[in-house]
């Protein structure tokens, strides 16, 4: 099964880190990605631009476009990994190794009829 590991954090905390702390975090992620590759579990993933760069499209009664993230929250979505895992327990075991304090694990819905 495929799972998305969604990484949440406080952007202000990230921005307050000095260059050495940010580099150490990047190195922890590099080790995490190497572990995923060794297991054959790495399908993709990226760091996302800060939420201030987001644009939200609301398809409700009236279609609207708004600069900024979908909602004001203490934590923002900062990045994701797309992994392959046998089941939720295996995905959670992998997620626990991520060097981030908040990780949401969400199964990917497959649609065989559309090839995805």
Q: Check residue 75 and give its pLDDT.
A: 82
Largest CA distance in the chain: 48
pLDDT at 5 over 90: yes
pLDDT, tens digit, 9 for 90 and up, residues 39-73:
999 999 999 999 888 887 777 766 565 555 555 56
Contact (CB, 8 A) for 69 and 76: yes
pLDDT-based confidence at residue 25 (cuts at 50, 70, 90): very high
- Per the model's pLDDT, the better-predicted residue between 23 and 113 turns out to be 23
The fold of the 2-114 domain, in CATH, is Alpha-Beta Plaits (3.30.70)
User: Domain segments of the chain: what residues?
Assistant: 2-114
Q: Is 19 left (phi over 0), alpha (psi -120 to 50) or beta?
A: alpha
pLDDT, tens digit, 9 for 90 and up, residues 80-112:
999 999 999 999 999 999 999 899 999 999 888
Mean pLDDT of the chain: 88
């Amino acid at each position: 099964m495929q799972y998305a590991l969604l990484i949440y954090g406080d952007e202000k905390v990230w921005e307050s880190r000095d260059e050495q702390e940010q580099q150490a975090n990047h190195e922890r992620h590099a080790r995490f990605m190497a572990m995923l590759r060794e297991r054959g579990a790495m399908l993709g993933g990226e760091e996302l631009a800060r939420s201030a760069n987001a644009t939200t499209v609301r398809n409700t009664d009236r279609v609207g476009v708004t600069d900024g993230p979908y909602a004001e929250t203490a934590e923002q979505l900062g990045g994701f990994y797309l992994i392959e895992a046998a089941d939720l327990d295996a995905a959670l075991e992998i997620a626990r190794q991520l060097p981030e304090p908040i990780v949401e694990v969400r199964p990917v819905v497959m649609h065989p009829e559309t090839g995805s």
